[in-house]
Amino acid sequence: MIKVGIVGGTGYTGVELLRILAAHPEVELVCITSRSEDGLPVADMFPSLRGHVSLCFTAPDKARLTDCDVVFFATPHGVAMAQAPDLLKAGVKVIDLAADFRLQDVDVFAKWYGMPHSQPALLAEAVYGLPEINRAAIKTARLIGLPGCYPTSMQLGFAPLLAQGKPLVNESALIADCKSGVSGAGRKAEVSALMAEASDNFKAYGVKGHRHLPETVQGLEAIAQRKIGLTFVPHLVPMIRGIHSTLYATLLPEARGLDIQALFEAHYKDDYFVDVMPAGSHPETRSVRASNMLRIAVHRPGNGDLVVILVVEDNLVKGAAGQGVQCMNVMFGLDETTGLRQVPILP
């Protein structure tokens, strides 16, 4: 059994980790930390876990994290980089759901997250936890920086067009029009996330710059092995969970005869959690709700040069906790889908 610890178990990604790991056949939950809820039974805070998780929250200084095989950080930015060195020295693998180990440039990290990076050597070692792109590196990794929710949808949506060795589209003018539910902002008291503020409303934000932009550009350039240009506009929609990304790319003249549908199907034929839907489909966020699936549909309006890629995922699962468990499975030599075959819930 894999002994698992979770640092920061009271947020949305923390409780999602608990939900998934509690039913994982190869996992033993060892500890769940919370400074403010020390001693409180997890099931008292999250009644949905009654009968599934018997642990109490433990203050970080009392938690037996070094007894674990792997520790997940579901914490604010900056926490994982402070604690990861001691855990790694003790032989514990680390999977960070925040941004501490996503960006490879320490100056870019400091610019977008407002703090210096305290572990540049570990940052250089960290593997970006997108299994469909970095599966081989994840297998041997001891430190994973998990992608953000928006970057997961954008990178997996654009990847088949960028990974062919030669440009198929105008890579200097990629566009991502993305929408997320309110849970993407985290479980905290914030005016913009109040029901009276978010409900019956729809708005863009972060147009002049969003911290997921440099991460996504970094990932797309690694896939393409070339410089790319991306315009990314996120939006907040009045739903709890889910991301819908509409991606746009313009075919180059020499690629006009390409069968885009076949290209995407071939690219993801061995990836269980990426569903390339039949031509003409329109995936819905509810078709992936509470699951680790990401669904993609590809369109070419009027059979013209514009490729429209529709991507949906659950931001808390494939965009966070589920993807972390997927990485854990790969790291420990398990079938990648272990504990992650939950069927999406409807309605």
Residue 271, Cβ density class (10 Å: 0-12 exposed, 13-18 middle, ≥19 buried): middle
**Is 56 labeled as catalytic in the residue annotation?**
no
CB 41 within 8 A of CB 56: yes
**Residue 246: its H or E element:** strand 243-250
CB count in 10 Å sphere of residue 196? 8
Q: Which helix (H) or strand (E) holds 154?
A: helix 149-162
Q: Which residues contact 312 (CB under 8 A, 6 or more apart)?
A: 153, 242, 243, 244, 245, 283, 284, 285, 287, 288, 294, 295
- For residues 10 and 57, give the distance between their C-alpha atoms in angstroms, rounded to a whole number: 9
Distance CA 130, CA 153 (A): 11
CB environment 110-131: b (16+ within 10 A), e (fewer): eebbeeebebeebbeebbbbbb
Q: Which amino acid is at 30?
A: V
Backbone angles phi, psi at 311, to 5 degrees: -130, 130
For residue 285, give the amino acid letter: T
Residue with tokens 């932009």: 213
Contact 35, 61 (CB under 8 A): no
DSSP 169: B
Choose the catalytic residue: 31, 56, 68, 149: 149
HSE-CB for 212 with a 13 A CA cutoff: 26
3-class state of residue 303 by DSSP: helix
Distance CA 310, CA 283 (A): 7
Please list the active-site residues.
149
